[in-house]
Structure 1
Amino acid sequence: MGFMVVDELASRIGGKFKAHKSGAEVLEGRLGGRKVVLAKPRSYMNLSGGPLAGTARFFKIDASGLVVVHDELDVDYGSVRLKLGGGDNGHNGLRSITKSFGTKDYFRVRFGVGRPPGRMDAADYVLKDFSTTERRELALNVDRGADAVEELLAQGLTAAQNAFHSS
């Protein structure tokens, strides 16, 4: 889900991702009135910290300037929640990013996917296709996720939380 939001942000910038020596696809542009570097690791999600840290070093971005967009099981499907820092809650991609940056203190835009039904394995759940209902709402939800990133960049965390946590 995070890649879909990042792709939407790239379309708003109007550029194309290019391969980078860090192991990520990168795109430079402006969002929310700020210069940004979008990065999509070419690794498995569980190993995304290395490529993101390499990209951040190259562009001289520290963890305080990092915004990670990721799926979140503990948030209802389609809801967007923002925060600074926190644990990885079993999310291996976040664990990799935290290890690579040496801190948990980076911004997160959490895109809700909800909990798996019954006893379904969480990994199987996040890798399955979207349901028909979810697919109908997907474009709107991806757009909201991208809007949340832009609001965070333009207005800061508190304003973005006020705008997106109430809806």
Structure 2
Amino acid sequence: RLMNLNGLSVASAAEMYSLRPEDIYLVHDDLDKALGKVAIKLGGSARGHNGVRSCISALRSNEMTRLRVGIGRPEGAVTVTSYVLALFSAEEQERLEQVLAQAATFLLEHILRTKVPAGEPGDRG
């Protein structure tokens, strides 16, 4: 349930470090993507994600870049809440290390490509 209030912490950190919403990356799970699929999206609605909704509300903006990490949808009679809060299966756990490494690489490449001005440290171009 604390995830539903995470926007307060994000907004507090943004204020402390003088960050604009467009300087912030939200990394969150995505039910609409299969486990292991990642995507970057700029802005948009929360699409039912309470943590994202909290950030949009607290920052009064939806202009954050979002790294969406797929977790898939529950099957059968499992509720979304139960599914999201459940532990990963043994099979999913095996894939998790690779998924997280892929997500981190994807995010770092995006930051370097879009946020580091030419000639700055870390620029390979």
Smaller-chain TM-score range?
Answer: 0.7 to 0.9
Other structure's SS at 1:138 match: helix
The within-5 A match list for 1:1-167 is 44-156=2-114
Misfit runs of 4+, over 3 Å: none
Please give the secondary structure, in 2, of the residue aligned with 1:156: helix
Q: Which runs of 5+ in 1 are unaligned?
A: 1-42, 158-167
> Residue 7 of structure 1 aligns with which residue?
none
TM-score normalised per structure 2: 0.88
1:31 corresponding residue in structure 2? none
Aligned-residue sequence identity (percent) comes to: 34
State the match for 2:121 in structure 1.
Answer: none
Structure 2 residue runs of 5 or longer lacking an equivalent are 116-125
* Cα distance between partner residues in 1 of 2:44 and 2:83: 23
TM-score (norm 1): 0.66
Task: Give the aligned CA root-mean-square deviation in angstroms.
Answer: 1.4
1-side partners of 2:57 and 2:69: how far apart? 22
State the shift of 1:103 in Å: 0.9
**Which letter does structure 2 place at the counterpart of 1:69?**
V
Q: Which is richer in strand? A: 1
Distance (Å, rounded) in 1 between the aligned partners of 2:109 and 2:80: 30
Residues in 2 aligned to 1:138 and 1:66: alpha-carbon distance in whole angstroms: 24
- 1:6-37 CA-to-partner distances (Å, cap 9, x unmatched) read xxxxxxxxxxxxxxxxxxxxxxxxxxxxxxxx
